[in-house]
Structure 1
Amino acid sequence: MSEQKDKVLELSQKAEKATQQKFEFFTNISHEFRTPLTLIQAPVEDLLNNKDAAPFKNDLSLIRKNSMRLLRLVNQLMDLRKLDSAKMHIKAAEHDIIPFLEEIMSSFQKLALQSGITFKLITEDRNLKLWFDPMMLDKVMFNLLSNAFKFTHEKGSIIIKVEQNALSNEVLIKVEDTGEGMSEESVKHIFNRFYQGENFSQSGSGLGLALSKDLIELHHGHIEVESHLGNGTKFSVHLKSGKAHFNSSEIIEGEHQQYFSEENISFEDFEPRPVMVESDEPKEHTVLVIEDEKPIRDYLCKQLGKHFHIIQAENLETGLNKALDQVPDLITIDLMLQQKNGFDIVKILKNDIRTSHIPIIVITAKKGIEERIKGIKLGIDDYITKPFSFELVLERIKMLLANRQKLREHYIHELPVENTAITKQSPDKKFVSNFTALVEKNISNSQFGVNEICLEMGLSRGQLYRKLKALLGYSVNDYINKVRLKKAKHLLLTENSPIADIAFQVGFTTSAYFSTAFKNHFGITPSEFRDQQHQN
């Protein structure tokens, strides 16, 4: 009996190990798919934006459309894997359902227009609210509409109806089309994984509808289908009203964000934009690209190099050394580097006073919400999943650099003159506070400068210069002069000491040099400034 029990346990452990290996295989292979997909999609979008490629627009659009289709298939496989391993969790919040559906419909409007298909939404209550997970319901509706458009001929119709059933306490979302319809046998199996009925053999994977059924069941709802050959198809999604059917872990209370699935965005509605001519102006910012996939690294460096100075690193160690040595204005990094997890370098960079101010964008094949949450906690500034649009990457880099400029102006605006106690702060603010306190403490010492600050703060001259330039926009000496002049202005207002004494108090060796510096900065000499204040 004992031997039999041990045998069962051993078989169970082997089965569990095999299951884990299967899940790991799906995870790894999906990431492998995303790299070539990135290298297909990104250059294709660049070509579509190039007026010289206009003769090939149709072919390029076909490539882009099918790469997007392949990406959706990869993501569906990943979602099914998560469902099987119980790692997909619903996060429901209350949303306006009609605007949500109309946003998804907008991706199909151009296709409907081109095919002469009547495409509309019908409801009696446009203010209807419903508790659901928007990322999940987005996938469901996208699948249902994709199927409807596949099998609906020109001049047909696809109608979305939203109804509230008070008796059953449900909201029904119906997708009705006048397409080819399905046989009775197909209807029985349509929600089975990898099932391909008569009409699906050439254009369906058998994944989308199976995934949709599982996602609706996570909402504690269900999905039904009615169809007859030649008479169209109707899918009905039944979702319960209110939130009583969800447990506490399935609900997001209070403020919530409207999520969307990046892979579900349709690019069919975007016309190619005019090509931006590369500017001859000097490149102001430096970007460090850390990526071990050489084709992607080369592509990113080439494209970003049109706008920024580029430093590149093929592994974490090199990337960390270059970040500490050259202190770039922004870093892009892949989380799945061969040596170790990219989160390791993020943690080091965000906790080191020399680099804590640098915005970090993660560009990765990892698209799970768990990775995003972990990244946010570590201080990642933005998160982009592969395959990506280069235009999206570029705009996010520009946005982060602009925000850094606003933060710099904020620091400059409220720089302390008097030393104040430092409470628990971000590393950047702590650095600024320490630096300004050190300058204030030594303000009367005319010999105080870069060497003394480097010694006190444990930074090299280059690191100190780049850190201060990034946060405050000044060189060390310019900033020290700014603080000295600000202090002098304060003393001229509050004390009756001779101007020569005030000049020495703030570290100027001669009153003549002080007067010249004061006038260059404020547009008025110290004596004229004091006279004006007395007149007022």
Structure 2
Amino acid sequence: MNCRRLNIINRNSQRLLFLVNQLLDFKKVEQNGFTVQFSRQNVTNLVTAVAERFAPSIEQMGGKLVVEQCERDIEADVDAEALTKLVSNLLNNARKYMKDRIVIACHADEGQGWFTISVSDNGVGISRDNQEKIFKPFFQVMDDNRESKGGTGLGLSIVQSVVEAHKGEIKVESSLGNGATFIVTLPLRQEGVTASAGNDIMSPAEDKGCSRAIDGGVNDVSRPVMLIVDDNEEMLQFITSNFNSDYEVVTAVNGKEALDKLSRHEVALIVSDWMMPVMNGVELCRAVRSNCNYSHIPFILLTAKTDNYSKIEGLNCGADAYVEKPFSVNYLEARIHNLVEMRKLLREKFSQTPLEPINTIAPNPVDDQFLTQLTNIIEENFSNPELSVDFLANRMGISRSGLYAKIKTLANVTPNELIQLTRLKKAAKLLAENKYRINEICYMVGFNSSSYFSKCFQRQFGIKPGEFTPHSL
């Protein structure tokens, strides 16, 4: 089967999925109304991401999509998924009726407390009579030959439901032969806004020299990098458009190119197709897992292979998750969220529990060996004044930046914080043996001050060294 036919199959399967989702959305609205969950969002980025997804298909139809840039980013309280549906349906409607041009724009009026999203096309336009009907379910405007443009006739009905759920309004400006403009006006602020983790503000530690090595060490404000690997351009664009608001997305068309990108970017997550030329996804996963510099990176394998043998092969290569095509982007997001959240919980358990071994946070044998070796080097050099990040990098045969990235991903702490955490965990083991006094243990693990040791131990584990027993937590 040639590439052209595969592209046709892919486009039609996506169309079928879109139509099914339209019907499901309509059914939800019909039964319960359109429920929303508001959170603070960058509307400008959201609209741009949806537009980028539509641009290729509009160009294939001989048209051009123009995204008018506003003076500054618009932030508003919206339901991100619902607003994405709204913009997608407006663009899909414009794409069906355009002549050769669509313009989408966003504007905000801080003084009035509103923002607008407008979508214009230069198509046949809508008569005044039809303008009163287009928001009704299943109504479709006919062209000059009395034929519909396809679809379900539900898109604008869903748009209106989203607008009403946001306590906004929508209007259409059009006349026959002069195109149509849909203008959505929504409030900038809503009640019942859900706080997102990305908006949390962290206060500085009272004592930076004895900070708790749990929730991140260095607060890196840059977005994590996601590497997407697929030889299908449309699939690359589809996944990119759904994740580029949370990740810096880097793409590759085969495993060999992906390895090259890995050598030039600090990647936090890999999403790869299985079937690709040059080097397929399974071969890429094995290469990643066998390389100490990359073995810690979460790896999700996408594939149309659904037989049990393929599933076993996919997981045996070291993939953290196996997602079958066709898939819902919400399902992929859920798998990624669960994978990241599980690793986070394991890191927290390791960091907060004095006797929890370091292999708790090792996702695979290569990283288990790496962390064990690293811990042994630290413990053997507690009293060595040269114990530092450079010392560890040299002994582990890895670059300083590579060591930092690997430890940060595995333990969510910096190398210096891991050194201190290893000292404190070794101290907990010695305390559990009940053979030494606290001041002796303090010096055995490399602290020069007993009071400073006690302060750090309590801040890390929530208990004083003198109160600690194996069953005290």
* TM-score, reference length from structure 2: 0.50
* Larger CA Rg, structure 1 vs 2: 1
Aligned to 2:378: 439
Tell me how far 1:448 sits from its aligned partner.
Answer: 0.8
Q: Return the letter of the residue paired with 1:403.
A: M
Tell me how far 1:452 sits from its aligned partner.
Answer: 1.8
Q: Report the CA distance shift for 1:474/1:45 in structure 2 as closer, same or farther (over 3 A).
A: farther
**Conserved in 2, the CA contact under 8 Å of 1:446 and 1:507?**
no
Structure 2 residue corresponding to 1:517, chosen from 424, 435, 456: 456
Q: Report the CA distance shift for 1:426/1:304 in structure 2 as closer, same or farther (over 3 A).
A: same
Aligned to 1:118: none
Q: Secondary structure at the match of 2:330?
A: helix
The answer to whether the aligner puts 1:363 opposite 2:302 as a matched pair is yes
1:79-121 deviations in whole A, cap 9, x for unaligned? xxxxxxxxxxxxxxxxxxxxxxxxxxxxxxxxxxxxxxxxxxx
Equivalent-residue separation in structure 2 for 1:469 and 1:55 (angstroms): 37
1:9-49 deviations in whole A, cap 9, x for unaligned? xxxxxxxxxxxxxxxx49x7875444334654566678766
Aligned to 1:288: 227
Structure 2 residue corresponding to 1:398, chosen from 337, 355, 374: 337
Tell me how far 1:303 sits from its aligned partner.
Answer: 0.9
Structure 2 residue corresponding to 1:36, chosen from 11, 15, 35: 11
| Equivalenced residues, count | 292
Tell me how far 1:305 sits from its aligned partner.
Answer: 1.6
Q: Return the letter of the residue paired with 2:446.
A: G
Aligned to 1:471: 410
**Conserved in 2, the CA contact under 8 Å of 1:288 and 1:313?**
yes
Tell me how far 1:446 sits from its aligned partner.
Answer: 3.5
Q: Secondary structure at the match of 2:250?
A: strand
Equivalent-residue separation in structure 1 for 2:461 and 2:382 (angstroms): 19
Please tell me the root mean square deviation across aligned C-alpha atoms, in Å.
4.5
Tell me how far 1:341 sits from its aligned partner.
Answer: 2.2
Q: Return the letter of the residue paired with 1:35.
A: N
1:382-433 deviations in whole A, cap 9, x for unaligned? 233333321121111112212222343455555449x9xxxxx722322222
Equivalent-residue separation in structure 2 for 1:367 and 1:488 (angstroms): 50
Query: Per residue, is there more helix in 1 or in 2?
Result: 1
Q: Return the letter of the residue paired with 1:312.
A: T
Aligned to 1:119: none
Structure 1 residue corresponding to 2:315, chosen from 376, 383, 394: 376
Tell me how far 1:515 sits from its aligned partner.
Answer: 5.0
Q: Report the CA distance shift for 1:515/1:386 in structure 2 as closer, same or farther (over 3 A).
A: closer
Q: Secondary structure at the match of 1:470?
A: helix
Equivalent-residue separation in structure 2 for 1:439 and 1:457 (angstroms): 11
Q: Return the letter of the residue paired with 1:357.
A: H
Tell me how far 1:60 sits from its aligned partner.
Answer: 8.4
Q: Which moved more, 1:481-490 or 1:465-474?
A: 481-490
Structure 2 unaligned residues grouped into runs of 5+: 26-80, 94-160, 167-192, 200-220
1:130-529 equivalent positions in 2, closer than 5 A: 281=199, 285-409=224-348, 411-412=350-351, 413=353, 415-416=356-357, 426-491=365-430, 494-495=434-435, 499=439, 502-511=441-450, 513-518=452-457, 520-521=459-460
**Conserved in 1, the CA contact under 8 Å of 2:454 and 2:464?**
yes
**Conserved in 2, the CA contact under 8 Å of 1:35 and 1:386?**
no
Q: Return the letter of the residue paired with 1:288.
A: L
Q: Report the CA distance shift for 1:34/1:333 in structure 2 as closer, same or farther (over 3 A).
A: farther
Q: Report the CA distance shift for 1:293/1:439 in structure 2 as closer, same or farther (over 3 A).
A: same
**Conserved in 1, the CA contact under 8 Å of 2:254 and 2:280?**
no
Aligned-pair identity (%): 27
1:447-474 deviations in whole A, cap 9, x for unaligned? 2121122122222222222222222222
Q: Report the CA distance shift for 1:452/1:415 in structure 2 as closer, same or farther (over 3 A).
A: farther
Q: Report the CA distance shift for 1:37/1:376 in structure 2 as closer, same or farther (over 3 A).
A: farther
**Conserved in 1, the CA contact under 8 Å of 2:227 and 2:250?**
yes
1:166-198 deviations in whole A, cap 9, x for unaligned? xxxxxxxxxxxxxxxxxxxxxxxxxxxxxxxxx
Q: Return the letter of the residue paired with 1:383.
A: Y
Tell me how far 1:377 sits from its aligned partner.
Answer: 1.8
Equivalent-residue separation in structure 2 for 1:353 and 1:46 (angstroms): 42
Q: Report the CA distance shift for 1:376/1:303 in structure 2 as closer, same or farther (over 3 A).
A: same
Equivalent-residue separation in structure 1 for 2:341 and 2:268 (angstroms): 11
Aligned to 1:230: none
Structure 1 unaligned residues grouped into runs of 5+: 1-24, 62-271, 420-424
Q: Report the CA distance shift for 1:506/1:336 in structure 2 as closer, same or farther (over 3 A).
A: same
Tell me how far 1:52 sits from its aligned partner.
Answer: 8.2
Equivalent-residue separation in structure 2 for 1:38 and 1:367 (angstroms): 17
Tell me how far 1:518 sits from its aligned partner.
Answer: 4.0
Equivalent-residue separation in structure 2 for 1:495 and 1:300 (angstroms): 57
1:481-505 deviations in whole A, cap 9, x for unaligned? 1221233355467355582x54432
Q: Report the CA distance shift for 1:520/1:376 in structure 2 as closer, same or farther (over 3 A).
A: closer
Q: Return the letter of the residue paired with 1:320.
A: L
Q: Secondary structure at the match of 1:384?
A: strand
Equivalent-residue separation in structure 2 for 1:365 and 1:416 (angstroms): 38
Equivalent-residue separation in structure 1 for 2:21 and 2:384 (angstroms): 56
Tell me how far 1:522 sits from its aligned partner.
Answer: 5.2
Q: Report the CA distance shift for 1:30/1:371 in structure 2 as closer, same or farther (over 3 A).
A: farther
Tell me how far 1:379 sits from its aligned partner.
Answer: 1.9
Q: Secondary structure at the match of 1:288?
A: strand
Equivalent-residue separation in structure 2 for 1:403 and 1:52 (angstroms): 28
